[in-house]
Structure 1
Amino acid sequence: MGEGVVVRPDQVSLGVLVAAVSRDAVDEAVAVCGVREKRSDAKLPAHVITYLTLALCLFPEDDYEEVATRVTGSLDRWGCWNAAWTAPTASAITQARKRLGRNVFPELFERTCGPVAGKAGVSAGAVALGTARGSFLRRWRLLAIDGFELDVPDSKENAAEFGYAGSGDNRSAFPKARVVALAECGTHAFVAAEVAAYNVGERTLAQRLYARLRADELLTADRGFYSWQAWDTAQATGAALLWRAPTQLDLPVVRVLPDGTYLTALIAPSIRGRRRERLLAAARNREDLTDSGVVPEAFDQRGLPVIHLARVIEYDVPDRVGNGTGELIVVLSTILDPDGPDGARADELAAAYHQRWEEETANDQLKTHLRGPGRVLRSRLPDLVHQEIWAYLIVHHAISTLTAHASAAADLDPDSISFAKALRLIRRTATGTADIPP
Structure 2
Amino acid sequence: MTRSRCAGCEKRSDGKLPAHVTAYLTLALALFPDDDYEEVAARVTGSLDRFGVWDAGWTVPTASAITQARKRLGRAVFAELFERTCGPVAGSAGPAAAAAALGTARGSFLRSWRLLAIDGFEVDAPDTPANVAEFGYSGSGEKQSSFPKVRVVALAECGTHAFVAAEIGSSADGEKTLAARLYPRLRGDELLTADRGFYSWPAWQAAQATGAALLWRAPTNLDLPVIKVLPDGTYLSVVIKPEVRYAGRRERLLAAARASTDLSNLDHIPDAFNRQGEQIARLVRVIEYDIPDRTGDGHHELIALTTTILDPADARADELAAAYHQRWEQETSHDQLKTHLRGPGQVLRSRLPDLVHQEIWAYLITHHAISALIAQASTAADLDPDRISFTQTLRLIRRTATGTAAIPPSGLDRKTP
Q: Compute the displacement of 1:128 (Å).
A: 5.2
Contact 2:266 2:282 in 1 (8 A): no
Q: 2:180 aligns with which of 194, 198, 207?
A: 207
Q: 2:91 aligns with which of 114, 118, 137?
A: 118
1:429 equivalent to 2:400? Answer: yes
| Partner AA of 1:186 in structure 2 | G
Q: How large is the Cα RMSD of the aligned pairs?
A: 2.3
| Partner AA of 2:177 in structure 1 | T
1:306 equivalent to 2:277? Answer: no
1:284 equivalent to 2:258? Answer: yes
- Aligned position for 2:335: 364
Q: Report 1:37-116 matches (<5 A).
A: 39=11, 41-42=13-14, 43-116=16-89
Contact 1:190 1:393 in 2 (8 A): yes
Query: How many percent identity over aligned positions?
Result: 73
Q: 1:352 aligns with which of 310, 323, 332?
A: 323
| Partner AA of 2:281 in structure 1 | I
Residues 4-43 of structure 1: per-residue CA shift (max 9 Å, x gap): xxxxxxxxxxxxxxxxxxx9xxxxxxxxxxxx99957453
Q: 2:127 aligns with which of 140, 148, 154?
A: 154
Q: 1:380 aligns with which of 351, 354, 366?
A: 351
What is the TM-score when the length of structure 1 is the normalising length?
0.85
CA distance in 2, matches of 1:276, 1:37: 71
Residues 314-355 of structure 1: per-residue CA shift (max 9 Å, x gap): 11212344999533221111111110xxx1100110111111
CA distance in 2, matches of 1:324, 1:151: 30
Change (3 A) 1:302 1:322: closer
Residues 382-437 of structure 1: per-residue CA shift (max 9 Å, x gap): 0000000011000000000000000000111111111111111111221249xxxx
Q: 1:246 aligns with which of 219, 222, 230?
A: 219
Change (3 A) 1:325 1:152: closer
| Partner AA of 2:374 in structure 1 | T
CA distance in 2, matches of 1:324, 1:277: 32
- Aligned position for 1:317: 291
Contact 1:311 1:335 in 2 (8 A): yes
CA distance in 1, matches of 2:299, 2:71: 56
| Partner AA of 2:329 in structure 1 | E
CA distance in 1, matches of 2:101, 2:393: 18
Moved more, 176-185 or 324-333: 324-333
- Aligned position for 1:31: none
| Partner AA of 1:45 in structure 2 | P
The DSSP-based 3-state class of the residue aligned with 2:87 is: coil
Q: 1:218 aligns with which of 188, 191, 199?
A: 191
Q: Report 1:5-44 matches (<5 A).
A: 39=11, 41-42=13-14, 43-44=16-17
| Partner AA of 1:358 in structure 2 | E
Q: Compute the displacement of 1:84 (Å).
A: 1.0
The DSSP-based 3-state class of the residue aligned with 2:289 is: strand
| Partner AA of 1:267 in structure 2 | I
CA distance in 2, matches of 1:280, 1:377: 52
- Aligned position for 1:30: none
Change (3 A) 1:172 1:291: closer
Contact 1:188 1:358 in 2 (8 A): yes
* Structure 2 unmatched ranges of 5 or more: 94-98, 405-417
Contact 1:65 1:90 in 2 (8 A): yes
Contact 2:9 2:55 in 1 (8 A): no
CA distance in 2, matches of 1:38, 1:235: 51
Change (3 A) 1:397 1:276: same
CA distance in 2, matches of 1:174, 1:159: 8
Contact 2:188 2:212 in 1 (8 A): yes
What is the TM-score when the length of structure 2 is the normalising length?
0.89
Change (3 A) 1:303 1:362: same
CA distance in 1, matches of 2:358, 2:72: 12
Q: Compute the displacement of 1:365 (Å).
A: 0.6
Contact 1:287 1:295 in 2 (8 A): no
Q: 1:410 aligns with which of 361, 373, 381?
A: 381
CA distance in 2, matches of 1:174, 1:234: 33
CA distance in 1, matches of 2:299, 2:147: 40
Moved more, 162-171 or 406-415: 162-171
Moved more, 301-310 or 65-74: 301-310
Change (3 A) 1:322 1:366: closer
CA distance in 1, matches of 2:179, 2:36: 34
Q: Compute the displacement of 1:268 (Å).
A: 0.3
The DSSP-based 3-state class of the residue aligned with 1:158 is: helix
Change (3 A) 1:407 1:72: same
CA distance in 1, matches of 2:296, 2:357: 45
- Aligned position for 1:28: none
The DSSP-based 3-state class of the residue aligned with 1:395 is: helix
Q: Compute the displacement of 1:107 (Å).
A: 0.3
Change (3 A) 1:128 1:397: farther
Change (3 A) 1:323 1:227: closer
Contact 2:229 2:235 in 1 (8 A): yes
Q: Compute the displacement of 1:129 (Å).
A: 4.3
The DSSP-based 3-state class of the residue aligned with 1:95 is: helix
CA distance in 2, matches of 1:201, 1:37: 46
- Aligned position for 1:175: 148
Moved more, 70-79 or 324-333: 324-333
Residues 170-206 of structure 1: per-residue CA shift (max 9 Å, x gap): 2110000000000011100000000011100000110
- Aligned position for 2:240: 267
- Aligned position for 2:408: none
- Aligned position for 1:332: 306
Contact 1:318 1:324 in 2 (8 A): no
Q: Compute the displacement of 1:287 (Å).
A: 6.2
Moved more, 244-253 or 98-107: 244-253
